[in-house]
A and B are shown apart, each in its own frame.
Chain A
Amino acid sequence: MSAIPAQLAPLDDGIRQPTAYHVRKGAAGTAIQIRDFKLWYGHSQALFNINMDIERGIVTALIGPSGCGKSTLLRCFNRINDVIDGLRIEGSITLDGEELFGSKVDVISLRKRMGMVFQKPNPFPMSIYENVAYPLRIDGVRDRRILDEAVERALRSAALWDEAKDRLQDNALALSGGQQQRLCIARAIASEPEVLLMDEPCSALDPIATQKIEDLINKLSGDYTIVMVTHSMQQAARVSVNTAFMYLGHLVEYGDTEAVFTTPKNTQTMDYVTGRFG
């Protein structure tokens, strides 16, 4: 998968444009490695034998019908699922070669290496500034200069600075849905994590806000390893380099986005991407 054509063939929808970062695809190696990963919620198994290498510095999309286990898998990466009662796992997931579920893992510092953006914008009911500063505050940063800098950098990266700079002390809940989601992205990247996990970040947003978030993801890829769950195939096609298709807890097909969408090896994938899904 090292030879990437400079000019990608247009997809059916014709929207997808190549980005500079596609060029770097595969260059930086594997960030997250999943081996024989199984997961149970109580007695019902939600993930079956997942094997997957997520590449560093690019956007990987997880697609599949609702309930197929995309969020479950994503939430395993930062172990935010830990709090669920009766959760049981088998197999391994490593981040940079370190086992995530090992007994020596400090979950708190693990989570600090991963930012997460949720389906529904979930800013804290406090000021915009405090929302972005939160990851630093919990690390005990109190120096106003460092905080100001980090907040501005994160808001600029999240393309929210221009809209928010005059109202940093306003309550974050006063922002629009799209702005709130960008604020959540700013919060997720404020402490400069390595991986950005996004669980359907645009599903609650209107098309214009979606467009902005997608542009933002494009801009951020390269700096971050981004894993994004989406149920919109167009979106996956537009922003991701690799795509994984999941179905009923199985990883059905995983590979170059273009390949998955144009020449799927699996008939289920074919049915799903062509919209003939049952």
Chain B
Amino acid sequence: MSTKTAAPPVLPAAMGKRRDRTTRKSVVVKDKIADWTITIGGMAVILAVAGIMVFLLQVVVPLFTGGTVGARSSYALPHTSQRAVATLVDEYKAIATMVMADGKIVTFHAPTGKGLQAPAFDFGGESATAFGSTLDHADVAFGFADGSVRFGELKMVARVIPEVDIPSGLTRIDDRDSTDGRSIYRRLPGNQARVSSVEVTLEDPQNISDQGSAIVALDYRVSGGANAGVKSFVTVDAGGVVRLTRAESKRNMLTGKSRTVIETSLLPSLPQGTQVERVILTERADQVFAVSGNTIFRYDTRNFETPVLAETARVLPEGVKVTAFGFLIGEQSIVVGGSNGAVDVYFRLPRPNALGSDGYELVAAHRLEPQSGAVVGVSASLRGKTFATLDDRGNVWLRHSTSEQTLIRFDRKNEQPDTVALAPRANGILALEQGRAATLLDFDVPHPETTLATVFGKAWYEGYDGPTYTWQSSSGTDSFEPKFSLIPLIFGTIKATFYSLLFAVPIALLGAIYTSEFLDGRVRAVVKPAMEMMASLPSVVLGFIAALILAPIVETWIGALILAFVLIPLALVAGAYLWQLLPLDQANRLAGVPKLGFQFAQVAVTMFLSYSIAPQFETVFFGGDFKNWINGQSGNSAPFLFLALLPVSFGAVAWIISRFYGERIEALMLSRDKTGAAMLDLGRWGVILVGSLVLAFALAQGLAALGIDARGGVIDTYVQRNTLVVGFAMGFAVIPLIYTLADDALTAVPEHLRAASLACGATPWQTSIRIILPTAISGVFAAIMIGMGRAVGETMIVVMAAGNTALIDWNLFNGLRALSANIAVELPEAVKDDTLYRVLFLAALTLFAMTFVINTVAEVIRQRFRKRSVQL
């Protein structure tokens, strides 16, 4: 003791004065400040989380709100008695055009109806009896009463010019647009203007029908490039003859001259008296659909020389007529509008017992909400599966095929509808009346394809056999329809989580039990922080290692790996039984580090053994090669069933033996000395093992004979980056977390319970399993839940190791695509505010909800646990 210790502070009371008991002002102020800071900080955190939620929601909500209707303008056009054969609006909704049967073209300013001068198709006084065009109306064909056909082009031209190039003397139409009488000049930001106009060209007539029979229906497609264009068209004449014609222009590279080869194929005749009203064909001219009454006649013209009438499909009830008919973009969907107001979308799909002779059949994939009057017009968008339908009362509905929703109802009363044209960007509708009144409706429907049903339910996409959960956000082709079902991603997350927990939970829990109950405190003080360090390993590193190192290793040594999973537990248990045979003083002497060393050596030896006999193992169990076997190419399933049934039959045999011979064996064991009892114990285990081998073998043979195959389902085709690899890598991320929390929960079990159990003569293992684990179970459960939360949200490991295939399939050896990985992979290429972008935010929200629920459950359980442990 130092003598220089400072004297204790003298209390005021000791100085004889009465101590002032009021709190000092500075203390009060500090207290207030602390109070406010903490309150404000806490509120800020809550606000930040709520803010993120609100932000996510605000991005996501537009996916599910239909559309917003903008300006609507109605105006009168110059009166004609003729009906328009085609109506078009350009991409910018600046200029609109109607084509008349006599070749005249009425062109006008779309928002106001101001007339413009336009060239006309010169039919030489004839009137067209049929009209056909490509989906974008740029290439048109007219059929005439003399059986001839004339082709032409109708181009909506738009070019951007600098402001200085705008000619003077333009007439203003409205605040944006002016005209020189032929074109619309629209001012653009950045001192520019867009000039929109209509251009037409017309080719010479071609005679199609022999005897000069009038053309009554016609459709026209152009494919191929400028050098080698193919024009295909199908005509139906008044005699009911259907012809498919192909005109192929080939340009000679040397001479530069082009030569046109024209072939015509007479399609099989339709039943007597069939009056074809409409006909359409595909761009590759391999399918022709002719409509008469309520029936679609489908020709398979893949073989041009020998076309067949493949299918006769009655698509509407008797007495109802098909009054509108056309493709959606991509030519996979056919919209059928009926005189009863029905609007159905048909797919041509292969079917096992197809009605069609070519193995295909027209299937009503989508039945949309019917309209109140006969559907007289259909106009398809050039982007996506949006289309407008017009009924005979003038109501125009904007619909989406895949999501089956009606986006906008543009209901009008007592009008005499003529045609409807959907603007190419599906952001406006031009509806025309007979007698030439017109209405342009602007609207904005940014996300027509998403509804809760398409995002979280099944949707029937083109080319699919039926409704599916599919995620496929992008592809090479224009007509591709993105598929935004989150279910495969949610499934992927669940699958990755499930398999990695299947691997991680037993290891983490056994590890926690081992360190908290068995390990020397000093060793534990090293092991636990080391494990916690492991948790801080960046997951991108884990993913990287998993994908580039682990995946190839697992692929090469899959046989050895499976064998090790069987042999290591067996070897350890066998070792434990043999250990009992040691004389007690030896056992006590070797109990610490030497025993641990033996166990490690045992694992190492078993691993080496698995490695060395893996080829033989694969030969015996998997017909030589595991991957071939699992792909179903070789081997039979009995050996694997045997392996899989081994644990079950082991449990069964063990139960039977302990149930019927347990007491007798216990009694026998009590009557022996320790070594004798240990021998008996080992013998019992041996008997159980042999018994279960026999049982598993018999069961496997039986099941295999019944034709049950282990392949398909949980184990199936092997892919290099698979769930097994993800499970291992994710295990690395999750094990330390579960381990350390579970260890805390187990250690938190009051010492007096441990002491009580040990004092009763329980072994440490019995104490752990019967007392510690049940007492800490809610804490352990919370640890698992938090590990699960981590696995659900884990991103980099699944991005790198999972192969990112959005499948719904439990196959352990196949990849997956998790919600988190999907966001990481696709967000960089998503355009702000487009559908993919918002769906990815929805994925984020879903992920947030999942982890939120899991963590909340974990927290609630942990609170309960805390309350309970206070009780103890």
Contacts and interface: CB of A to CB of B under 8 A. Distances in A.
Interface string B738-760: 00000000000010110111111
Interface in A184-226: 184, 187-188, 191, 197
B867 to A, nearest CB: 12
A116 B757 contact: no
Interface size class of A (residues with CB under 8 A): 35 or more
A116 B584 contact: no
B761 A112 contact: yes
Nearest to A85: B521
Interface stretch (A20-28, A43-51, A121-129, A156-164): A121-129
B762 A124 contact: no
Contacts of B775: 124-125
Contact of B760 (A143, A173, A191): A191
The winner among B520, B752, B868 for most chain A CB atoms within 10 A is B752
A106 B774 CA distance: 27
A80 B760 contact: no
The winner among A114, A123, A134, A184 for most chain B CB atoms within 10 A is A134
B868 A124 contact: no
Nearest to A142: B662
Interface in B239-263: none
The winner among B583, B589, B756, B759 for most chain A CB atoms within 10 A is B759
B762 A138 contact: yes
A133 B521 CA distance: 31
B585 interface: yes
A111 B770 contact: no
Given A85-B520, A85-B522, A118-B752, A137 B770 contact: yes
B763 A108 contact: yes
Given A85-B521, A137-B770, A124 B663 contact: no
Interface in B762-810: 762-763, 766, 770-771, 774-775
A104 B585 contact: yes
Contacts of B272: none
A135 interface: yes
B132 to A, nearest CB: 83
A126 B774 contact: yes
A122 B752 contact: yes
Interface in A127-175: 134-135, 137-140, 142-143, 173
B524 to A, nearest CB: 10
B29 interface: no
Contacts of B871: 125, 173
Contacts of A105: 584, 588
B585 A109 contact: no
A83 interface: yes
B755 A111 contact: no
Contacts, number: 90
A35 interface: no
A45 to B, nearest CB: 20
B161 to A, nearest CB: 85
Contacts of A123: 756
B872 A173 contact: yes
A147 B60 CA distance: 63
A235 B750 CA distance: 28
The winner among B589, B756, B868 for most chain A CB atoms within 10 A is B756
A134 B752 contact: no
Contact of B759 (A78, A85, A106, A173): A78
Given A103-B589, A173-B872, A115 B759 contact: yes
A120 interface: yes
Contacts of B757: 124, 134
B674 interface: yes
Given A103-B589, A105-B584, A143-B663, A125 B872 contact: yes
A80 B759 contact: yes
B415 interface: no
Nearest to A141: B666
A139 B667 CA distance: 11
Interface string B831-872: 000000000000000000000000000000000000010011
Contact of B674 (A102, A106, A120, A191): A106
Interface string B579-601: 00001110011000000000000
Contact of A184 (B520, B756, B872): B756
A83 B758 contact: yes
A80 B761 CA distance: 10
A114 B755 CA distance: 13
Given A85-B522, A103-B589, A184-B756, A124 B761 contact: no
A143 B755 CA distance: 26
A218 to B, nearest CB: 22
A162 B771 CA distance: 27
A140 B674 contact: no
Contacts of B762: 108, 134-135, 138
B774 A111 contact: no
Contacts of A108: 761-763
B234 to A, nearest CB: 83
Interface in A78-112: 78, 80, 83, 85, 102-106, 108-109, 111-112
B755 A187 contact: no
Interface in B658-693: 662-663, 666, 674
A144 to B, nearest CB: 12
B521 A122 contact: no
B584 A138 contact: no
Contacts of A142: 662-663
A138 B770 contact: yes
A140 B663 CA distance: 9
6 contacts: A85-B520, A103-B584, A106-B674, A112-B760, A125-B775, A134-B762
Interface of A: 78, 80, 83, 85, 102-106, 108-109, 111-112, 114-116, 118, 120, 122-126, 134-135, 137-140, 142-143, 173, 184, 187-188, 191, 197
Given A106-B584, A122-B753, 14 more contacts: A78-B759, A103-B584, A103-B589, A104-B583, A104-B585, A108-B763, A116-B756, A116-B759, A124-B771, A125-B753, A125-B868, A135-B761, A173-B871, A191-B761
Kindly list the 9 A-B residue pairs having the minimum CB-CB distance in the complex, ordered from nearest.
A112-B761, A116-B759, A103-B585, A122-B752, A111-B761, A85-B521, A135-B760, A138-B762, A122-B756
